[in-house]
Amino acid sequence: MKPAQIPTPLKTKPLLTVLGGETLTPPPIWLMRQAGRYLPEYRATRAKAPDFLSVCFNPDLASEITLQPIKRFGFDAAILFSDILVIPHALGRHVEFREGEGPALAPLESPRGLAALSEEESMVPLAPVFETIRRVKAALPADTTLIGFAGAPWTVATYMVEGGSSRDFSRVKSWALGDPDGFQVLIDRLVDATSAYLIRQIDAGAEVLQLFDSWAGVLPAPAFQRWCVAPVREIVLRLKKLRPLVPIIGFPRGAGLGYQGFASATGVDCLGLDSTVPLHWAAQALQPQATLQGNLDPIQLLAGGGNLKTEILRIVGALGRGPFIFNLGHGILPKTPIAHVEDLVTTVRSRS
């Protein structure tokens, strides 16, 4: 755990330093989905609420959960505890999380299914999230950065149209590829709501934002440009115009060669790499344009063994000579042993 800190200027936060383009040895570290079911203290707090969305909208519980991995591991960043699906909820769609089954939404079939809500009206249900951010910000150690987030429009649309998780994305892809003008209405709505939501997260205290495009990898290249790159570019444009100093991390998971040019096309400051991205290519082709974040395979962290240390050192060796944030290539898995996370943090930090 980190020692208590005296307040320091913002620039001395390691995460903000590397997002500003500098190189740090050792690199800062945090993990996607770091607050969650692999932690016994999360399961205990989670049990105090009737369902998952009530946790997201309860600032007492959500701020406690956000801080849990910071207290246990001393990560360089806390990520707001919430979910990408609070946006469909705010837009008036039915969203629930069934125990052991994942999210269930009322499937959206056309833009006519979207309620006529003003921007202000759609932000009302999200007020508790902003309160969580204010509380976490006040409680964090001085060198720990607070990350806010949202789903990118394409990924949020997949859940809205499919009605939950999907195997083949056939409904949402049929809509996007078969009726692009109709689908654009949904994406534009998500761009508006997401931009408004993220501005409010910044004003409540979020210092960095991450846009999760978890299903960016299921589209043909031209559709990836239209439904992943263009909406993220529009959100980044709006945020940079209004709050230019807040760094943005893009995470177009599974984009493959689509990672090339993504930072310059969208304006994100940092690229979150999934675990399939080859490191030497990333160092040469991507790191000159953006800070990189990633990309240990979450199953390697779960599995542990001698290969865990080898893989950590391979990643730090390849990317640590430029601006870099150590992370996983996707969210931490619920069965991950806590000892493996402790070993990971020790290994990354002892390499200097």
Per-residue exposure over 317-327, b if at least 16 CB sit within 10 Å of its own CB, e if not: ebbbebbbbbb
Only segment of 26-34, 111-119, 284-292, 315-323 that touches ligand 1CP (CB under 6 A): 26-34
C-alpha triplet 185, 187, 189: angle, nearest 5°: 70
Is 159 a catalytic site residue?
Answer: yes
Nearest residue (CB) to ligand 1CP, 81 versus 224: 81
Q: Report d(CA 235, CA 152) in Å as an integer.
A: 9
Q: Among the candidate windows 80-88, 185-193, 241-249, 340-348, which touches ligand 1CP by CB under 6 A?
A: 80-88
Cβ count near 335 (within 10 Å): 8
CB 163 within 8 A of CB 107: yes
Shortest distance, position 331 Cβ to ligand 1CP, whole Å: 4
Question: Is 135 annotated in the active site?
Answer: no
One residue of 92, 182, 217, 331 binding ligand 1CP per CB under 6 A:
331
User: Residue from 62, 70, 84, 282 that binds ligand 1CP (CB under 6 A)?
Assistant: 84
CA–CA gap between residue 211 and residue 213 (Å, rounded):
6
Which residue out of 76, 83, 143, 213 is catalytically annotated? 83
| Beta pairing, strands 102-105 & 95-98 | antiparallel
Is residue 77 involved in binding ligand 1CP (CB under 6 A)?
Answer: no
Strands 270-272 and 248-252, by their bridges, are parallel
Length of the chain: 352
Among 214, 287, 295, 336, binds ligand 1CP (CB under 6 A): 214
Which residues are known catalytic residues? 33, 37, 46, 83, 159
Instruction: State the residues that interact with ligand 1CP by CB under 6 A.
Output: 32-37, 46, 52, 79, 81, 83-85, 97, 102-103, 149, 165, 212, 214, 331
